[in-house]
Amino acid sequence: MSKAEASVRERITVNLTPKSVQALEALTGNTGDTKTDTINRALQLYEFLDRVTREGGKVYVQESESETLERVRFL
């Protein structure tokens, strides 16, 4: 990322659903990150997952108590 790209900032207002508010509160409580940092990370992760799946890749998760990999599908 160039210095010009790194300096670009945008301020937006977001209306969160109650479920998203709960998720944001849980994440900031677990990580100690600010709401801004948490939302930025979430968007970066979403973009990465979207790019992987658009390019034909697959995303899998494995619960801590399970030996089974489960494919994640984004709708």
Q: Average pLDDT of 51-66? A: 94
Computed from CA positions of residues 38, 41, 45, 46, in that sequence, does the dihedral angle turn out positive or negative?
positive
Give the pair of three-digit tokens for residue 37. 């940092």
Residue 19, pLDDT score: 97
Residue 74, pLDDT score: 80
pLDDT tens track for 6-56: 778 899 999 999 999 999 999 999 999 999 999 999 999 999 999 999 999
Domain ranges, ordered by start, for the chain: 14-72
Question: Looking only at Cα atoms, what is the longest distance across the chain?
Answer: 45
List all residues 6 or more positions away from 38 whose beta carbon is below 8 Å from its beta carbon.
24, 27, 28, 31
Whether pTM exceeds 0.85: no
Residue/partner pairs of 10-17 with CB below 8 Å, 24 or more apart: 14/39
List all residues 6 or more positions away from 41 whose beta carbon is below 8 Å from its beta carbon.
33
| Of residues 50 and 74, more confidently modeled | 50
